[in-house]
Structure 1
Amino acid sequence: MWIATLALCLDEDYELIDLMEQMKREAGVRENCFASLGWLLHAKGEYEKARSYVQQLLNEHSLLDEPAIRLCYSILGGVATAFKEYDESLIYCQHVLKLCQKCGEDAPLPVAYQDIGEAYYWKKDYDLALEYEQKALDLLPEEHLQRSYIYRVIARVYRATYHYDLSLSYHQKVLDIQKKHLHENHLDFAAAYNSIAAVYHNMRLYEKALGYLNKALSICKKSLPVNHPDTQRIERNILRTINHYNRKRQYKVSNIILLYYLKSLKSDLPDTEHETCSILVRFLFDGVM
């Protein structure tokens, strides 16, 4: 009964129908799989509901086949990551890998390796993150869409280790693959733009960062429900970047004022101009400007 009730609630959420159909097709989630409802809740940003639903499914093991069980643990790993429970996320990802290794050639090993690599990235164990992402790459053909997700993790590792040019080059690989497989308003582009913005933010190129963040926000507003956590995250990133950008501009103005003041002390400016310089400096150090 609880499964049927949840399915009805999701079906009545008309705002999400198109998004869910698109995401189910592209992620390969089966329509008749009980775990797909948990996956859709996760896609909605309803993380607690997704966790509760999937845990109930796992308690009723007879409802699930092997792929559905793997999907349940993948969802739990994704929820744990959303809640910054990175040790728990890694445990779930490793469990998925063990299940895949038992299933032979049809198991999605590249996805399992990629998820483990991403879990290590969140734990700041960057060497292991790169090791598992490379394992995933070794199993995939060139231009495969899954490679874009792997490249994104690698790009994040290089950003975290201050290799910004390398990070940007991998983000470009992400975009190159996505453009061959996805339409321009796909949510993966929003994720890519947000990640590129993070690199430019770290490089203190705030105008470039804002440009990519605005692209990401535009896609999220078209493709996600109101108040989705991903949209809110990008909006926070925009506010943070604007704040840094304004401080950078103020710092430049402050330097100009100080230089002007120091020059004025050595010059024969009229008293009124000396007074103007003094006022500017007082404003500067009192935090008025």
Structure 2
Amino acid sequence: MADKSSNASKKSFKNIDDTQSYVHHLVWLDKNIENYTNQQKLNQWHELDDNIKLFSHEEECINYIQKQNDKNTESYIIFIISDSCSEQVIPKIHNCLCILAIFILTTNSENCQILNYPKIRATCLDTSDLFNRIRHCIYRDEASIGFSLLNKQDSTDAEPISLETKSNEQYPIRNLQEDQARFLWFYKCHNFMIELEDDDRQAKEEMISYFRIKYNKDKRILKPIDEFEKESLQDNAKNAIWWYSHNTIMFRSMNEALVSGHISTIYSYRYIIKLLCRQLKTLHKEYKKSISNNRLHLYRGQRLKLSLILLISNHINDLISLNSFVSTTLEEDVAKKFCLGRSKNNDEAVIFEIDIDLNSEQNIPFADIRDVSRYPEEEEILISIGSVFRIISVNFDEEKELYRIHLTLSQHEQLIVNKYIEQTFATEIDSDDQSILFGKLLFDMGEFEFAIKYFENRIRCLSDHNNHYRPTYLNNTGVCYNQIGDKDRALKYYKKASDIYKETKNQRGLGACYHNIASYYYDKGDYDTALRWALKALNERQQYQLEKASTLDLLGCIHLAQRDAEAARNNLQEALRIRVKYLSQLNTNHPDIGISYFNLGKLDSKLSSLIDAQNNYSRAEQIFRHNYPKTHPLITEVTQCLEQIKRQL
């Protein structure tokens, strides 16, 4: 085995097509082919390949495959053959690079046991099983797992990875040097979605309705969805992994959503995501008890572009996340079946080798799903979403002519932003309610419009007499409307929430509403009214130190707007003192500390203390980048302030 760096450089990777898609072509050889391919049956097979080729003569079929191989076309052949022809034909075509997989149709599987070729995927006893297995094969070959590189965990100053991609395409490796926060926000969102047990029925109805609208004219696609809908919630939960291995459109679409990273789209699939995660979590406990070894060594076969392999090789010892459910196997020969075939546009065969230390506590469930999978012979170990791995090595195996990428399962605690995500919700009002925390996550991710939709939907689902969570939903909806600029509507929500908090004598909630009303008048430029509401909020928040700090910070901004610099500095510095005292032991990069530095930067800028302003803005920017996605408004705003200061210096 040679180190990849000495081999990959010999390969050209100019004019790389950034997509990872392939064309699958079905070729079927059977002496009695007419028995399987009347027009009605062909309609089903055309779902997989409109240009399926049918042969009843061996030589004619072999010649066709060899010509396809010589043409070096961009298609992969899935070869179907009857057992009566298999012994004579398979040896002649097996090594053709265009052959991706071979399926044998037989009436007696014992007849095929002597055939030992790597590309033979399955022996099928009927055409229904054959069709499902080929569809499964195509899906597994097309499915891409999204990657996120998480490098230089102790630094926010490293150069970002440069990727040349087309703006309208998904890229399987995303740069999270500056944006590791977004990965962990998504991971936490997944966790909260799993815990939202009270909306299972509604989540299922929403998902089914979505598919019916999208595929209303395609009965073949809707058939498994109809079957899934008829099952009870309990049966859906029990059969989640079976449905996953069946590869219906539900799970293919779910995987695309997870790779895309669009949280609103992912939320539409929350029902099946929940079911899979819950079942995997249950199986994980049983699986760990059944393993005698202390270390698990897994394999995953996949084709990747050479440019992506090179990129991964430049990040040895860094972290990489796989942004979907990850199918692996205990057997390398099984994994190889998923990366064999002709190279297209510099895509290369890759075997991921994944080591898991079973002695360490794992925050990502994984389990052997053979007993609940539709295809137990794949010996699949399924790893749940949000997995993070450390890159150990990238080598080129000269003998096997494939790349080996060695990974070890790591913990999220190694990511800086995890400190904030884990700790920030402990001080929230109603922090025990997952539905409220999920909405706050959406807000912190900058998904304001989706957060509004989410909170308003939760309000509609409450009973008329449920005033426990209603005011929190109302207040949070107002905050989101404020962020998108609809401030008058935000005020209406604040006042509705404050009325309920008054009625229920909730001092803490009332303080939050008064604070937000003060912010409304501050944004409107009515500083006297803003000051009155802020002082009312401060009075309600005296015993809640961190919330008191937030209102002191607002008072500082109000005094600054009133040109009272001394009062502004006193309030802003007191807010910073409280935040550092209560937050720095938990997380020195807590974003609330960043807010204090940001507002002190504004004060210094107003007073023309440009060096002090630059220092405070820089500290705020560093903290925000540790905690928020790079598209977050706070990062945009502080970056603009720094640029303005630089122009003035």
Structure 1 contact 90–116 (Cα < 8 Å) conserved: yes
1:195 to 599, 607, 627: 599
**Aligned equivalent of 2:453:** 52
Q: Which moved more, 1:33-42 or 1:155-164?
A: 33-42
Please give the alpha-carbon distance, in whole angstroms, between the structure 2 residues aligned to 1:156 and 1:218: 22
Report matched runs for 1:113-192 at 5 Å.
113-141=514-542, 144-183=545-584, 184-192=588-596
**Aligned equivalent of 1:96:** 497
Please give the alpha-carbon distance, in whole angstroms, between the structure 2 residues aligned to 1:185 and 1:12: 26
* Residues 102, 219 of structure 1: alpha-carbon distance in 2 compared, 3 angstrom cutoff: same
**Aligned equivalent of 1:258:** none
Correspondence 1:109 to 2:513: no
1:228 to 629, 632, 636: 632
Report Cα offsets for 1:55-96 as digits up to 9, x if no partner: 222222249942321221122111122122222222111111
Please give the alpha-carbon distance, in whole angstroms, between the structure 1 residues aligned to 2:611 and 2:508: 43
Q: Which moved more, 1:172-181 or 1:187-196?
A: 172-181
**Aligned equivalent of 1:275:** none
| Secondary structure of residue in 1 paired with 2:469 | helix
Aligned positions, number: 245
**Aligned equivalent of 1:271:** none
Correspondence 1:238 to 2:639: no
Correspondence 1:37 to 2:438: yes
Gapped runs of 5+ residues in structure 2?
1-202, 207-266, 275-322, 324-383, 387-411
Deviation at residue 136 of structure 1 after TM alignment? 2.0
Deviation at residue 174 of structure 1 after TM alignment? 0.5
* Residues 206, 12 of structure 1: alpha-carbon distance in 2 compared, 3 angstrom cutoff: farther
Report matched runs for 1:7-18 at 5 Å.
18=419
**Aligned equivalent of 2:85:** none
- Which amino acid in 2 is paired with 1:210? Q
Q: Which moved more, 1:178-187 or 1:66-75?
A: 66-75
Structure 1 contact 220–230 (Cα < 8 Å) conserved: yes
- Which amino acid in 2 is paired with 1:150? T
Please give the alpha-carbon distance, in whole angstroms, between the structure 1 residues aligned to 2:643 and 2:613: 11
Structure 2 contact 429–509 (Cα < 8 Å) conserved: no
Structure 1 contact 58–72 (Cα < 8 Å) conserved: yes
**Aligned equivalent of 1:281:** none
Structure with the bigger percentage of helix: 1
- Which amino acid in 1 is paired with 2:491? L
Correspondence 1:206 to 2:610: yes
- Which amino acid in 1 is paired with 2:457? Q
* Residues 130, 186 of structure 1: alpha-carbon distance in 2 compared, 3 angstrom cutoff: same
- Which amino acid in 2 is paired with 1:130? L
Deviation at residue 218 of structure 1 after TM alignment? 0.9
Deviation at residue 137 of structure 1 after TM alignment? 2.1
TM-score normalised per structure 1: 0.76
Please give the alpha-carbon distance, in whole angstroms, between the structure 2 residues aligned to 1:6 and 1:123: 39
Deviation at residue 99 of structure 1 after TM alignment? 1.1
Structure with the bigger percentage of strand: 2
Structure 2 contact 442–451 (Cα < 8 Å) conserved: yes
* Residues 216, 63 of structure 1: alpha-carbon distance in 2 compared, 3 angstrom cutoff: farther
TM-score normalised per structure 2: 0.35
Correspondence 1:71 to 2:475: no
Correspondence 1:21 to 2:425: no
| Secondary structure of residue in 2 paired with 1:178 | helix
- Which amino acid in 1 is paired with 2:638? I
Larger radius of gyration: 2
Deviation at residue 108 of structure 1 after TM alignment? 2.2
Please give the alpha-carbon distance, in whole angstroms, between the structure 2 residues aligned to 1:144 and 1:83: 28
Deviation at residue 153 of structure 1 after TM alignment? 1.0
Please give the alpha-carbon distance, in whole angstroms, between the structure 2 residues aligned to 1:127 and 1:108: 23
Please give the alpha-carbon distance, in whole angstroms, between the structure 2 residues aligned to 1:231 and 1:107: 29
Report Cα offsets for 1:253-274 as digits up to 9, x if no partner: xxxxxxxxxxxxxxxxxxxxxx
Please give the alpha-carbon distance, in whole angstroms, between the structure 2 residues aligned to 1:30 and 1:142: 17
Deviation at residue 115 of structure 1 after TM alignment? 1.6
Structure 1 contact 93–116 (Cα < 8 Å) conserved: yes
| Secondary structure of residue in 2 paired with 1:72 | helix
* Residues 109, 94 of structure 1: alpha-carbon distance in 2 compared, 3 angstrom cutoff: same
- Which amino acid in 2 is paired with 1:191? I
Structure 2 contact 471–497 (Cα < 8 Å) conserved: yes
Report Cα offsets for 1:194-226 as digits up to 9, x if no partner: 111111111122211110000001111112233
- Which amino acid in 2 is paired with 1:230? L
Please give the alpha-carbon distance, in whole angstroms, between the structure 1 residues aligned to 2:502 and 2:476: 19
- Structure 1 vs Structure 2 CA RMSD: 2.8
- Higher relative contact order (CA closer than 8 Å, sequence separation 6+): 2
- Percent identical among aligned pairs is 19
Please give the alpha-carbon distance, in whole angstroms, between the structure 2 residues aligned to 1:97 and 1:143: 18
Please give the alpha-carbon distance, in whole angstroms, between the structure 2 residues aligned to 1:104 and 1:48: 30
1:86 to 467, 471, 487: 487
Please give the alpha-carbon distance, in whole angstroms, between the structure 1 residues aligned to 2:446 and 2:426: 19
Structure 1 contact 87–123 (Cα < 8 Å) conserved: no
Please give the alpha-carbon distance, in whole angstroms, between the structure 2 residues aligned to 1:143 and 1:60: 31
- Which amino acid in 2 is paired with 1:227? T
